[in-house]
A and B are shown apart, each in its own frame.
Chain A
């Protein structure tokens, strides 16, 4: 098992390197970065000074190596727009995005898996059909649209919940979190709901499909023939078997949800990393774009690694094979 982990970590490092090269080239090589920093009517002297200061006159490969060197020291550069270290900038916005994503993902799974299992267990009941209808909507309707409808219904028409922005925060482990305050929760609810719907629909559909398939297998027949109750079969056999694909998708979709937070944060003016990247794209704040993409890639690779490990933990058949 340990050998397996080490092997995957090494692979991950190689992947990170490749991604850093790709990201760097893509972001820096296209277009002229200098135009973001200084006004069009600045003198030639100031242009050249700025170019030298930011190292933009060096050949691309040298810029890349300098970039890697700085990364190794933890220096992701300074934002063109905000004029502060990018890493600080990102980390200041990260808690907001994290709590939004976690709330969405946990809610989606905790509600989605049981409902999906029920829909798979009794696929022809009216309740199941209703659950599937809701899941189709959650799955098909673009997140931004649901956000609009949510704001329109709950904030504008009914006035129950705020239309945007993060609420009050309280500190935990030195970081400010908004779910610790009531006001914060009120602000968190709609965006988290918005973000969770896609994943909820996915979990429901996955759990349903898995349950339906497993219920037809000989394993369930045999368990029934042995006199196990339906509840025991569902919890001890079915859940355990569908856990494998669900955990895999959970992991992959977690990253995807994190990325989709971009849309939700834009609509709800949630001050997270997602909104930051959208703003950076439109203002072409390249250091921020690079750092964000690298961090997302790193995060994804970590998630993939955890999923692989969890997969091996859940499916004993993989353990002996991988160790070989």
Chain B
């Protein structure tokens, strides 16, 4: 019996035996495809204010609106078709989660790895700043930044990145420190390679497993954090409703029985986050060297 050759192939070989994780991965991919194709498949563009008919507002699921199409999931307080709003909302959530996560990853990992590589005072200074930042709860940081920077996509991403890069930096620093003392680094340094190259091509790839673990946690966190900020009124403007804002807007109507305005966006959000976490769990288990299988 032959073994799969590349690490990725071996990883997938074990992954596909876990039914739950595979289903979750399928869900994530399906949602992502739906979200990317949102402009194509949703019955209405929820950002275009001209589309909204106030008379159709707060209608239950299945209602046929004045524009002639069925609102499968009902409408919200402004008359938006909820299905469209959810699709666009998912789009924004995934977009922001991935972008913020990717930037935080790149920034944090590079910072942490370089700090470990250079050592001495540079390392001490960088890690002090990181520790300082880690002693602040991410949500507060994001809250204050979002409040100060105003509404909008990029201020929000900036807030999320600031709240998260420290985790990547701390993990990268820990892993890179361990790698730094290994012989292959000394071997690489004895050749005329630039420091930057040694860090990126030699050290960082070996630090990837714990970083991937952090990344899987942080992507889901980003999405949840963005939703929470939107729920609290910060983050994206009212004209580009993210799932958090939809839920916030629908909150008051829940007490009077018009549950769909909050519940459906909520369900969509939860399905997305739970699926990401399930995949992340399996990835984490497989990357953990201390669980002999």
Binding site for B on A (CB under 8 A): 15, 18-19, 26-27, 30-31, 136-137, 139-145, 148-149, 151-152, 156, 163, 212-213, 216, 252, 255-256, 258-260, 262-263, 266-267, 277-278, 281-282, 289, 293, 296-297, 300-301, 304
Contact = CB atoms under 8 A, between A and B. Distances in A.
Nearest to B223: A142
B61 interface: no
A259 B139 contact: yes
A260 B232 CA distance: 12
Interface residues of B, number: 40
19 contacts: A30-B148, A140-B224, A140-B270, A141-B270, A141-B273, A142-B224, A144-B247, A148-B262, A151-B255, A212-B291, A213-B288, A213-B290, A256-B139, A258-B137, A263-B228, A281-B144, A281-B147, A289-B144, A300-B137
B277 A139 contact: yes
| Majority DSSP secondary structure for residues of A touching B | helix
Interface in B137-158: 137-140, 143-144, 147-148
A281 B135 CA distance: 21
A212 B291 CA distance: 8
B203 interface: no
Contact of A262 (B143, B224, B262, B276): B143
A272 B15 CA distance: 46
| Majority DSSP secondary structure for residues of B touching A | helix
Interface string B255-271: 10001001000100110
A144 B231 contact: yes
Contacts of B254: 148, 151-152, 156
B67 interface: no
A95 to B, nearest CB: 20
Interface string B215-231: 00000100010011001
Contact of A145 (B135, B220, B270): B270
B201 interface: no
B247 A15 contact: no
B224 A136 contact: no
Contacts of A282: 147, 233
A306 to B, nearest CB: 12
Contacts, number: 109
Given A136-B281, A296-B137, A216 B144 contact: no
- Find the residue from A148, A255, A262 having the highest chain B CB count within 10 A: A148
A142 B140 contact: no
A148 B266 contact: yes
Contact of B137 (A140, A151, A212, A259): A259
Given A15-B132, A144-B227, 20 more contacts: A26-B144, A136-B281, A137-B274, A140-B224, A140-B274, A141-B270, A144-B244, A145-B270, A148-B262, A148-B266, A156-B254, A213-B291, A216-B292, A252-B134, A256-B139, A263-B231, A266-B232, A281-B144, A297-B135, A300-B137
